[in-house]
Amino acid sequence: MHASNKQPVIILVKPQMGENIGSAARAMLNFGLENMRIVAARDGWPSQSAVATASGAGRILDHARHFPVFNDAVSDCHYVFATTARNRDITKPVYGPKEAMIIASEKISEGDNVGIIFGPERAGLENKEVVRSNALITVPVNPNFSSINLAQSVLLLSYEWFLAQHSQAENFSYEKKTEMASIMEIEKLSQQYETELDKIGFFFPEEKAISMKSSLRNIWSRLPLTVSDVRAFHGILRHLLKSRNL
């Protein structure tokens, strides 16, 4: 991360308009956030329309990192929040913006990298991205008019982050006790188990294989795994495979 790692990274997934990226950058800088990542911007990157809209927040875009695929953008994150406006048939912790940013602040003070992902303006995040997150953030809004645009969503979370940093919570010290596993480390663990389970025909019947694999990935992402935990699970699988082949 180019700026301080003492703040979350804002990740815009497949944003559709440069103007919305620029507006999001302004919203971030209003409340002291400077880490932006962009995944597969529809109109390409860099974007002149984003720069024009960002106005005085152009430095956010200057240092923003662009990734072709989502997994690369979150690979170094230990904890990821997915913002979503609709109910999901996915079992994950669900927080409001205020509670989520307090949790983010605590995790960052413990040394973790935290990401907040925002989906495309029209459709929002896809389930394959939500599955790889650790928790969801939803905003209580008027049910008859629940649409919030990208920049508004970023502004709302940035504001709550700013408040969390200036609340009494910032006076508490958090001691780093364990090193949490990154999203990429958990992803590799998940892939290893998925590969071996596939070999023994676990994902059956075939028409349910995709949903079963998605459920398994969701289980891994919900677990607060440390680096030691990941090593232990890798070791367990190696021993199981070794004993099976004796």
Q: Which residues of 118-148 are buried (b: 16+ CB within 10 A; e: fewer)?
A: bbbbeebbeeebbbbbbbbbbeeeeeeeeee
pLDDT of res. 10: 98
User: Can you give the pTM of this predicted structure?
Assistant: 0.76
pLDDT score at 173: 45
pLDDT digits (tens, 9 = 90+) for 13-62: 999 999 999 999 999 999 999 999 999 999 999 999 999 999 889 999 99
Amino acid at 162: F
Q: What local confidence, expressed as pLDDT, does residue 4 receive?
A: 55
- What are the φ/ψ torsions at residue 137 (nearest 5 degrees)? -120, 125
pLDDT at 175: 46
pLDDT digits (tens, 9 = 90+) for 81-108: 999 876 667 789 999 999 999 999 999 9
- pLDDT band at 179, cuts 50/70/90? confident
Strand, coil or helix: 73: helix
Let me know the angle formed at the C-alpha of 25 by 137 and 54, rounded to the nearest 5 degrees: 150
The pLDDT of residue 169: 46
* Banded model confidence at residue 178, pLDDT cuts 50, 70, 90: confident
CA distances from 131 to 108, 233, 234, 242 (A): 22, 20, 21, 31
β-strands 79-83, 135-137 pairing: parallel
> What is the pLDDT, as a whole number, of residue 40?
96
Among 13, 155, 135, 137, smallest CA distance to 78 is for 135
Query: According to the model, what pLDDT value does residue 168 have?
Result: 45
Architecture in CATH for domain 9-171: 3-Layer(aba) Sandwich (3.40)
